[in-house]
Structure formats: C-alpha cells, structure tokens
C-alpha cells in the first residue's frame, strides 16, 4: 500500500515558513532557536527523519548561541561597570584648569576675553575673526605677526561697529600666512576652569563656562595652584629683568 507524504511535506514547508517569518524581524535568542528546532522536528518527514548527526549539529549551534548570549550579557555588565568608574573618575576634572582644542568661547557681555591659539610656524600676517552663534562675522582684526607655538590675543567684546556684543557663546578663527604668502596652520584653543560635566550623551563631556568639548580635545590639565605658581614665576622673572 502506497502512502503519499505530499501533505506532510507541504505542511512542513508551511510550518517552517511561518516559523521563519514570525522571527524574521527579531533578534535570534534562545527561545526563538528552540521554537524553530521543535517546529522542524514536529513537521519532519516520518520516512526521512533528520539524521542524528544533523540534530547534534543543531544542538551544538544552540550551545554556541547560548555562549554568545552569555558573553554579550557579560560584556554589557562590564561596559556598565566601566562607564560607572569612568564617570566617577571624570568628576576629578572638575575645578581643573584645562586647555582644549576648540574655537568656541563664552562672552559675558561685559569683560574682555583672552583667546589662546597655536601656530605651526612663524607667520608674517594674521587675522582674527569673531563669529556669533549663527556663524556671522561680527568682528575681525589684523593682529600682525605670530611666533611659532602659543600666541594670545584679547577681544574687548565689541563688534565692527564699536558696539558691545551680546552675552553668549561665540567662535573664532585665526588665518595666518608666512612671508611667501603660504598659509600657516593655526589651532584655536580654549583655556579655563572646568565647572561642570555633562553625561546626557552617555559620554562625559567637560564644560568651561557653558562651552562643552570632548575628552580627546584636552591638551593640558593643571590645578589652579599650578597655574597660579607659573603666573607668579613669570611675574617675578619680568620684575627681575626690569630691575637689571
């Protein structure tokens, strides 16, 4: 007596298709894998059952999946622990004088601002431009020659019309050229006391008077005492030079 298994085969294909479709848009986890495995066993051809080696291979895949899930869970726990330690460590930066690579600064609407920048080489001519938050140039000035290394310039807070600018955050650029007219690279810096730390993005972001920057932007860290000591030494050296 011939037995037709066409129906079984069709049912198997349908069940497998339904099982795969139901998990097509989700991540593979332990329960998903088990559901697929049991569905396959339930609708397999009775005259051509799955071989033991194939079944063992699928169980081995399940074991590997479990191990990967455990590793992933362990990595997540490790990440959370490291983030917690990192966040706690970053708090120590608060109250530290930081020099960072950024061209943004805050203006209080009253007091002049000292801008610090670093020239790659000597420059014969240099121009500083101040931009508001919309990127509009409100002031520019030719400041003359620059020496290779650190340079500074003070903005009095006034725009090109001689009016005091509004309080807020501004950006600046320094464009310089050498005696041959070649462009000299200049990095704009920000120096100040770190007064807050932001964690909203998941990564600690130090802030100086409302200007945030990344940890990779930091060039130098100093305690206020160290900066004051260097300032006193510089003052003493200047006074000694004048007396002589």
Correct CATH for 97-243 of 2.60.120.200, 2.60.40.4070, 3.90.1200.10, 3.40.50.2000: 2.60.40.4070
pLDDT band at 42 (very low <50, low <70, confident <90, very high): low
pLDDT, tens only, 180-201: 999 999 999 999 999 888 877 7
Sorted by sequence, the CB contacts under 8 Å of residue 98 that are 6+ apart come out as: 191, 192, 193, 194, 206, 208, 218, 220, 221, 222
pLDDT at residue 2 in the model = 41
Q: Using alpha carbons, select from 185, 193, 200 the residue that is nearest to residue 106.
A: 193
Name 155's bridge partners: 113
Q: Using alpha carbons, select from 171, 178, 190 the residue that is nearest to residue 118.
A: 190
**Does 139 have pLDDT greater than 90?**
yes
Q: Evaluate whether 169 touches 209 at the Cβ level (below 8 Å).
A: no
pLDDT at residue 171 in the model = 97
Q: Evaluate whether 120 touches 127 at the Cβ level (below 8 Å).
A: no
Query: Rounded to an integer, what distance in angstroms lies between the CA atom of residue 114 and that of residue 105?
Result: 10
pLDDT at residue 235 in the model = 46
């Amino acid at each position: 007596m011939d037995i037709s298994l066409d129906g079984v085969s069709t049912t198997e294909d349908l069940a497998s298709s339904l099982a795969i479709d139901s998990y097509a848009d989700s991540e593979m986890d332990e329960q998903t894998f088990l559901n697929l495995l049991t569905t396959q066993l339930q609708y397999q051809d009775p005259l051509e059952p799955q071989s033991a080696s194939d079944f063992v291979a699928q169980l081995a895949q399940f074991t590997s999946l479990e191990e990967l899930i455990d590793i992933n869970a362990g990595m997540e726990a490790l990440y959370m622990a490291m983030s917690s330690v990192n966040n706690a460590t970053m708090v120590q930066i608060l109250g530290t004088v930081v020099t960072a690579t950024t061209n943004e600064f805050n203006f209080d609407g009253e007091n002049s601002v000292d801008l610090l920048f670093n020239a790659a080489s000597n420059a014969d001519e240099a121009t500083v431009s101040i931009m508001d938050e919309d990127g509009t140039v409100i002031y520019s000035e030719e400041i003359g020659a620059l020496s290779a290394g650190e340079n500074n310039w003070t903005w009095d807070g006034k725009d090109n019309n001689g009016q005091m600018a509004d309080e807020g955050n501004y950006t600046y650029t320094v464009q310089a050229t050498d005696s041959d007219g070649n462009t000299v690279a200049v990095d704009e810096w920000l120096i100040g006391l770190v007064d807050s730390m932001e964690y909203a993005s998941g990564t600690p972001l130090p802030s100086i008077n409302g200007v945030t920057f990344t940890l990779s932007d930091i060039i130098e860290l100093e305690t206020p005492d160290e900066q004051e000591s260097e300032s006193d030494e510089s003052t003493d050296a200047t006074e000694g030079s004048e007396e002589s």
